[in-house]
Amino acid sequence: MEAQRRRLLLAGMATAFGAAALAQPAGKVIRIVAKRFDFTPAEIALVKDEPVVFELTTRDVAMGFSLPDFKIRADIVPDMVTRVAFTPDRPGTFDFVCDVFCGDGHEDMGGRIVVTA
């Protein structure tokens, strides 16, 4: 009897968790690779109010990702994936940069996000 109650409880929890996971807006995944001294892609087209998830990676050295107009900042660690959820709330062109010094050429490392309505 106890084992059956435990199975029912676990099944209920799994169902509730699954429903909550389905209710979350997944967002389009955009992979961004940082390497000395650029981001690929360097230009990203997004649509206002559509959620995305940036997957940031590097194989070089530790770097940063800063999108100051939206107050977004993340560390990018070699051989790890950093995920940043983002929903642009206004149209325009916005610059992002590496904000962790990664060597000579660092000052030119950046890109832009173009958000359309």
Quickly state the pLDDT bin for 41 (edges 50, 70, 90). very high
Burial label, 32 (beta-carbon count in 10 A; 0-12, 13-18, 19+): buried
Q: Tokens at residue 78, please?
A: 């070699």
Q: What pLDDT is recorded for position 19?
A: 41
pTM for the full predicted model: 0.74
Q: What topology is assigned to 26-116 in CATH? A: Immunoglobulin-like (2.60.40)
Residue 64 has phi, psi (to 5 degrees) of -130, 160
Cα 45-49-55 angle, rounded to 5 deg: 55
Length of the chain: 117
**21-35, 54-68, 92-106: range with lowest mean pLDDT:** 21-35
Coil vs helix vs strand at 36: coil
